Structure 1
Amino acid sequence: MAVQNISESVYVGMCLKIGTPQQVASRRDIVDSKEMLINNEMLNNPITVMLSGSLGEGFRLSGSDMDYMHWPNNHRVIWDFSQVHFYNTQEHTLILCDSSESPPGFTLLWLPLEETSHMVMSACVRMNGMLCISSSMYREVTCSLVFPGSSPHGPCGSGSYGSLEYDTAHCFISDFWPPSASSWIDRCHSWPPPHVVNDIIRNGCHFVAIGHKLGNHTGNEWRISFSQAEYKLVCSMNHTQFLTYGLLKLFLKEIINEGLRDEDKLLCSYHMKTTVFWAIQQNALPRWCPQNLMDGFWVCFKLLLKWVYEGVCPNFFIPENNMFLSNIYGEAQKTLFTRLYRLYENGLALLLHSPSIRSYIINVLCNPRLVICTDEHTLISEVEVDENIFDEVYANDSIYTLDLHECEKNLHMVEQLLGLPLTQYHIVMLQKLTATILQRTAFTLHSMYTNTGSNKQLYIVDKVACRFVKLAAKFGFVSDMLYIAMYYYKSFRYRDALSVIDTIKVKLAQPYLMYDSHVDRERYTEAVGSQSLSTKMRQAVAQNIKIVDEIFYINALIPEQQSSKQNNVFILFIPPHVLLYMLEFLCSRHVDTMRAQRTLDDLQVLVHHDQGQLVPVHLRDISWEILGICQQITGNLQAALYSYQQSLRQDPHNRIQTATRQRIQDLHL
């Protein structure tokens, strides 16, 4: 009974730490919506992009990297020449896979026709009279394609974007399931279900640019990647199985690898995932439910311990691929086994060393008769669920194109996607993406025709652009109304902008507004409780404003946009209240100087005295900067200097320091 209570208590803790079933489902659907849009065939994008790894699977653990896979749509890997007839060779470059000289799970990739893109050709070497795509050379060529300045890390280009770490893997895709993984199909008797198996096989596999350390052609070999299949397997888990996987990830990070140098960390999250896959498929636990979460964890830990003892970790899809072969052997293997066995001897008490889990075990040990409710609706309130969903929507709200034709195709694509059977999470994400596309289209139109169009053209374009930013405000967050004010300011309609600003002020001052994890739960529930996510987003949620580097919304912020771009950050993030005051100040200067001074005073009070409620701590750099810009415009150079100096002392989230230092120099004090 005690173990069952501990299991239920840890289940609750893991739901709060990792997410309830609803939260995890919403994360996956929101990411899925974005990928359905950016990867749609109608857009004719040359590259497909997929979020993989922990974030793609639905985890939001601190310290998780953003892992992306990119592959060219006009290249396909085939396993033998009989598969050539499935393709039009005018449209696809075919790559032949040859695993005959490689360890299990790895392969060489040949170009039979020796015709491909310049980028792929530059990564080719000649072997036995044929062109072979070298994995090491391809890594080098593609490392910094997505994010300039990335450094090689395994098969990826790695670095940081703002405060987030990323890994981008450029790979190739095969539409066919690998022959070496055919045994996996035969093993799928009880899990995953047949429709998942069929879906996995139908989607083939990928090849990432890294060879086996002990292979004959390490620098040229490619690893067969089952990332897409693994994502589908994780999605087919029930929530207890998913939390078991999450618990193993925490166990690895907070206990096994705690205090170790990176080079001494022999086990990784992929090993944890593999143990869960095998444990589920082998029916190691008859029933996975909250009451036996600890049993599930223990089954997986024992399996891992067995693998370390034997020095064999069989890949889930190609068991002949021993994933311990190159690093867990000899003295390192013995040391790791000893370390794990000592933990094993402690029994479930070993989890008392985990800061994330400890309190949930202690609660039960101190209150053995504690009754624990594992129903997700009692674990987390509607307000908390909404908060997580809207943060997720905001994080995935990015459209990369500025081409008007592409914007048009994106809008048409959204229209088509809305005809599919979608969840509420799909719909709210597509709604926000629509708002963003409309905003980008409006500002792009304005910049294209301002200096080149005739008066009649300008009038028509302006009318269309105005309609777009107003329409976007009806789809997006409350804070999206600021784009209307920015558009009016950019087109010199200061009174119109101030009228919109007055409306926004009222909306941002509502007591039920949700912003940056600050919300009056009772009032929020009274105002929009039980409404659709779409309604909640439009009426009761504000988010920070994204100023993308390709569009100059406000000329006064151009140096900051250029500074962040130079530092590989392509978006400025500005608190809505700070931007509101900046726009009010800039517009009022032209029509009401008294109002301009009052607004500047309000902005100063906000930036100086806010306790993280309206000016998030990580955005104080841009907030102090904007205050300094406004002070400098009025001629108060000493105050501007102080503000710029304060900006330099903050967390450099927006990477605007170059602009700040230049502004200080330009003061000539």
Structure 2
Amino acid sequence: MPLKMDSIRSSQITKAIQHISESVFVGLCRKVGTSQLVAMRRDAVDISEMVINQQKTSDEISRMVSGSHREGLRLTGSDIDIMFWKHDRRVIWDLSQSQYYNTHRQTLILCDCSDSPPGFTLLYLLSPSVNRKIQIVCVRMNNGYYVSSSKHRHIVLSELSLPYNPTPHKYRQTLLSESFPFNITPHGPCANGTYGSLEFDLALCYVSDFWPPSASPWIDRCHSWPQSHVVDDIVKNGCHFVAIGHKLGNHEDHEWRISFSLAEQKLVYVMNHCQFLTYALLKLFLTEIINNGVGEDDKLLCSYHMKTAAFWGIQQNAIPQWCPQNLLACFWVCFKLILKWVYEGVCPNFFIPGNNMFLSKIHGVKQQQLFRRLSELYEKGLAFLLRSPSIRSCILDVLYNPRNSICTDDHTLISEYEFDRDLFEETLPHYTIQGQLDIQSCIIRLHTIEQMIGSPLLTQYQVIMLQNMTASVLHSTAFVLHMETYTSDNKLSYRADKMSCHMLKLAAKSGCITEMLYIAMYYYKTLRYKEALSIIEITKVKLAQPYVMYAYNVYREIYTEAVGGQSWSTKMRQALAMDIILCNRIHYISELIPEQQSSLQRQMSVLFIPPFVLLYMLEILCYRHVDTMRAQTSLDELQTLVHYDQGRLIPLYLRDISWQILGICQQVTGNLQAALYSYQQSLRQSPNNKIQTATEMRIQSLSMDSLN
């Protein structure tokens, strides 16, 4: 009888844990994303990277976004890692592999792992006379030239930190497509920077088209996961090398770490959603429990350790089924694995187990202290997850309402509005023309996108993203064309103007509502004030609709009633407003050139403006030539908006440019005292657009005028 009772209790406990697991699964879907949302995020990054890389020629730079952002995670602290490499440099593992390359065009580098710890290597330059640029980062060792990781880091950091140059270095030019300011600091093998709350790492690396021999045993280990076709794809794509040596190696300053970032990305992509959420739960466990309140020097475990535990946990097949009911059991398997590693002081790299990732950091007293902390959590059981703010509510909901049924279906977890909001945030990136600005480069970009739009392999999310990219490239090209031809003969200028107008109208048909404002800017620039005002009036009516989503402020019920069930393309054209993005190397209207130049000098490639602020600015500037009374009315409306908006039409991160534009409009209409106040207010805002130099210049100009 007691045995039967114990069996019943055990069954009840199992069912309760499965019920809580389902609740945590649902909570993580809402916090991290459903499988559909995660797939959409990955598609967005994939297609953006594909477009940018296809525009490169064989001797230029390719780039790859990696890390949490690429994997589809959007947790607090999820960073963006960008690896980039030159096409004309290739690493080989054996001299026989040199037959696959044209040594006159490509510099070959040979791996020398003979005196390095597992997972690290020296890079031997095979033909030092071919590439002088590589020579400067080499050191002489063993009667040969080796590429030094420390010298490489120093050169890359100095190039990325260069002051403004109208023709930027290729590395910076490639990275500018991300629209980030470059406040660069050294960080491991990378350059680290921040933009607001977003953190990103940049690493110039080397690439090998071949799989490392030391990782060959991994291929034979993949019996159940991943599948053989995934293994083949991973091996076929080789690996990378990042500029960091092993702290306990013989050549720390010159060694390179073998990076499996591309392989890891492919592994995360083939996880089922429960496996992916287990990985996300491990990251939350790290940030909200293990590292919560711990100083930076005492954070011994990192996100990469969590990812490694997830990989090993899945491959070892300790859980027969990775599903919502088993989510907590899956997490527990990975947690016990981490506990074992800390006890032994060995965290085996997933691809090269001989590379102990704890070796230089988790040992001695610190190892003992960490093990003690983890052991205390282990003794508490899964109840320690109540310490995580992100998970606590999910567990308590079930404990307080044990009989509530839980639905884990994707389509019931988030509303149509919530999905659309995330879709537009992810698939409509700030894509602008970068690098060389001429008609030829614009045509190449348009041709690249045109070819991709016709691909039958595109997902529905990628189609939306390409549609927005098309609009962005079209309106940028229209202004570039005008810049190149406005001083030409009348016939050529007339034809160019016709083409620019046509491209701007096509962009408005492809993109969101605020694409119309690029037409208005062009008309103002070309002195067609009445035509510009006509476009502004149409745009104002469209933006006034209560279902229009801007900065994700909208009445959900009205949005769903107005455009619910319609295609995403229709929703984008009728119900979406976005920030106006001005490429700082294109002159749109003369009144904003000082702001663009200031922003560009501070390493910002684009200027962001709230659409409502630009609309009023254009209306004021046009009415000055048509109806001065109406110009004053528009100025009053802009002033009311900037002074009293509570973040609905002017996001907090765009307050600097909004006060600046108000000051410009006040200055051109003769209200110099009000303009001075607005410029001073602009300086007090968060300097996200980096326009302080322009603001100070305008204040100085006003002071000079008042003296005169």
Matched residue, 1:659: 694
How far off is 1:394 after superposition? 3.0
Instruction: Give 1:133 deviation, angstroms.
Output: 0.4
**Equivalent residue in structure 2 for 1:527, among 562, 587, 607:** 562
The structure 2 residue matched to 1:436, chosen from 460, 469, 472, is 472
Q: Which residue of 2 aligns with 1:131?
A: 145
Q: Which letter maps to 1:199?
A: D
Task: Give me the whole-angstrom Cα distance separating, in 1, the residues matched to 2:198 and 2:497.
Answer: 37
Residue 573 of structure 2 corresponds to residue 559 of structure 1: no
Instruction: Tell me the distance in 1 between the aligned counterparts of 2:241 and 2:406.
Output: 46
Q: How far off is 1:646 after superposition?
A: 2.2
TM-score by length of 1: 0.97
CA distance in 2, matches of 1:495, 1:523: 33
Answer yes or no: is the 8 Å Cα contact 1:424–1:533 preserved in 2: no
Residues 433-453 of structure 1 show CA distances to partners (whole Å, capped at 9, x for unaligned) of 1111111111111111223x1
Amino acid at match of 2:664: I
Tell me the equivalent position of 1:581. Answer: 616
Instruction: Select which of 360, 367, 371 maps to 1:337.
Output: 371
Offset of residue 136 of structure 1: 0.7
| Amino acid paired to 1:17 | K
Matched, 1:643 2:678: yes
Matches within 5 A, 1:99-498: 99-143=113-157, 144=160, 145-146=171-172, 149-401=183-435, 402-420=437-455, 421-451=457-487, 453-498=488-533
Task: Map 1:606-625 onto structure 2 (within 5 A).
Answer: 606-625=641-660
Q: Give the percent of matched residue pairs that are identical in Structure 1 and Structure 2.
A: 63
Change (3 A) 1:63 1:116: farther
1:326-345 per-position Cα deviation (integer Å, ceiling 9, x unaligned): 11111111011111111222
Kindly state the Cα deviation for residue 149 of structure 1 after the two structures are TM-superposed: 4.9
Amino acid at match of 1:526: E
Rounded to whole Å, the distance in 1 between the matches of 2:584 and 2:542 is 28
SS in 1 for 2:205: strand
Aligned structure 1 segments of 4 or more residues deviating by more than 6 angstroms: none
Superposed CA offset, 1:475-511 (max 9, x none): 1111111111111111111111111111111111122
In the TM superposition, what is the alpha-carbon distance from 1:240 to its structure 2 partner?
0.7
Match of residue 19 from structure 1: 33
In the superposition, relative to structure 1, how do residues 499 and 45 fare at CA in structure 2: closer, same or farther (>3 Å)? farther
From 85, 91, 106, the equivalent of 2:105 is: 91
Distance change >3 Å, CA 509–CA 118, structure 1 → 2: farther
**Structure 1 SS opposite 2:319:** coil
Question: How far 1:115 moved relative to its partner?
Answer: 3.7
Which amino acid is 2:526 matched to? S
Q: Which moved more, 1:501-510 or 1:201-210?
A: 501-510
CA shift at 1:282, angstroms?
0.4
Match of 2:9 in 1: none
Contact 2:56/2:62 (<8 A) preserved: no
Match of 2:91 in 1: 77
| CA–CA distance in structure 1, aligned partners of residues 557 and 313 of structure 2 | 44
Report how far residue 553 of structure 1 moved: 1.3
Give 2:452's aligned amino acid.
L
For residues 3 and 601 of structure 1, the distance between their equivalents in structure 2, rounded to whole angstroms, comes to: 61
Deviations 1:221-258 (A, max 9, x none): 10000000000000000011101111111111111111
Deviation at 1:148, TM superposition (A): 5.0
For the 8 Å contact 1:119–1:141, the answer to whether it is kept is no
CA distance, structure 1, for counterparts of residue 596 and residue 484 of structure 2: 19
Hey, what does 2:23 align to over in structure 1? Answer: 9
- CA 1:12–1:473: 2 relative to 1, 3 Å: same
Distance 1:439 1:563 in 2: 22
With 224-233 and 637-646 compared, the bigger mean Cα shift is at 637-646
Give the CA deviation at 1:347.
1.3
Task: Return the alpha-carbon distance in structure 1 between the equivalents of residues 530 and 58 of structure 2.
Answer: 42
Report SS of the residue matched to 1:371.
Answer: coil
What secondary structure sits across from 2:674 in the alignment?
helix
Is 2:585 the partner of 1:571? no
Aligned-partner SS, 1:395: coil
Q: Report deviation, 1:163.
A: 4.6
Distance 2:364 2:350 in 1: 24
Aligned to 2:428, the other structure's residue is in SS state helix
| CA contact 1:162–1:654 (8 Å) conserved in 2 | no
Match of 2:8 in 1: none
Q: Could you tell me whether the CA contact under 8 Å between 2:209 and 2:238 is conserved in 1?
A: yes
CA contact (8 A) 1:93 1:115 kept: no
Query: Which string of whole-angstrom CA distances, capped at 9 and with x for unpartnered residues, describes residues 98-155 of structure 1?
Result: 1111100000111111144443221011111111000111111112243655221100
Shift of 1:611: 1.9
> Aligned with 1:157: secondary structure?
strand
Which amino acid in 1 is paired with 2:486? T
Contact 2:584 2:596 in 1 (8 A): yes
Q: Are the counterparts in 1 of residues 430 and 581 from structure 2 also a CA contact under 8 Å?
A: no
Q: Secondary structure at the match of 2:356?
A: coil
Matched, 1:39 2:53: yes
Match of 1:592 in 2: 627
Contact map agreement 2:432 2:583 (CA 8 A) in 1: no
Q: CA RMSD in A?
A: 1.5
Gaps of 5+ in 1: none
Structure 2 stretches lacking a partner, 5+ long: 1-14, 161-170, 173-180
Q: 1:57 to 1:191 in 2, by over 3 A?
A: same
Q: Give a deviation string over 1:553-572, Cα, whole Å, max 9, x none.
A: 12212222222223322221
2:503 aligned with 1:499, yes or no?
Answer: no
1:539 maps to 574
